[in-house]
A and B are shown apart, each in its own frame.
Chain A
């Protein structure tokens, strides 16, 4: 029983990353919200970001692309849910094609168990001239027969952990 509880506990985690940038908050905010800055860091090492468009307002969409050194492109799109300049930005995150249509992760050769829609929440705090950024990334269950599209998985996992006790 302990084992199954561990699994549920592990599974229910949201991805949370805290990172302190040695830069003022305005600059970090700009790096996140200005496409020209954004393109300079969005891909992992050796990747490029050849395309980035942002309609930076609540309900506005973005579309961007990461290109691997081998030339493979990964497009993402989403909608801004909350924009609080210098403080907080919340947006959905989906795999996409180059036209901005949402596609399942499986289309990129990733596990079909990747969620179709994810939510990214980023907050920025000033800390002695530096910027503490907290990023939360979580998947949202999707599909025709489920009730709470807005809920994260966390609630489901909490309940699952409960039922495994």
Chain B
């Protein structure tokens, strides 16, 4: 299944989990304590966040620790940056094209 950052943050519980993990590493039960939803539901959210690369889960002895990977969110601004460049290049060409068109029109008008 296709997973992306946008999908990860579309869910309020997942946003809350990222917020919680932003300043601390927590075990699965540690995360679950903060929510009213079931532990399996929390596990499912963590799994989705892990698939999106926003959370990593380390096993340490008998416990699984969850840690947030916020740098993944940068990909969103990378996306925006790539498009900004593309649009700017297009508009530069459109500038040139529009002036070309208007020159032609003026010439036409003079005849």
* Cα of A143 to Cα of B85 in the assembled complex, Å: 27
SS class of chain A's interface: helix, strand, loop or mixed? loop
- Asked if A7 and B1 sit within 8 Å, CB to CB, the answer is no
SS class of chain B's interface: helix, strand, loop or mixed? helix
A84 CB–B CB distance under 8 Å: no
- Asked if A164 and B18 sit within 8 Å, CB to CB, the answer is yes
Q: Given that A21-B95, A40-B97, A45-B89 are known contacts, is A10 also in contact with B16, CB under 8 Å in the complex?
A: no
Count B interface residues, CB 8 Å. Answer: 50
* Cα of A131 to Cα of B18 in the assembled complex, Å: 43
Count A interface residues, CB 8 Å. Answer: 57
- Asked if A45 and B6 sit within 8 Å, CB to CB, the answer is no
A137 CB–B CB distance under 8 Å: yes
Interface residues of B in 85-108 (CB under 8 A from A): 85-99, 101-102
* Cα of A153 to Cα of B9 in the assembled complex, Å: 9
- Point out the residues of chain A lying under 8 angstroms from B94, CB to CB: 21, 28, 31, 41
- Point out the residues of chain A lying under 8 angstroms from B11, CB to CB: 145-146
- Point out the residues of chain B lying under 8 angstroms from A148, CB to CB: 10
A139 and chain B: residue at smallest CB distance? B6
- Point out the residues of chain B lying under 8 angstroms from A160, CB to CB: 9, 15, 18-19, 73
- Asked if A143 and B19 sit within 8 Å, CB to CB, the answer is no
Q: Given that A15-B80, A159-B15, A163-B19 are known contacts, is A141 also in contact with B10, CB under 8 Å in the complex?
A: yes
Closest 9 CB pairs of A and B: A163-B19, A44-B89, A141-B6, A11-B76, A23-B98, A41-B94, A41-B93, A146-B10, A143-B7
| Shortest CB distance B23–A (Å) | 6
- Point out the residues of chain A lying under 8 angstroms from B79, CB to CB: 111, 113-115, 139
* Cα of A137 to Cα of B91 in the assembled complex, Å: 14
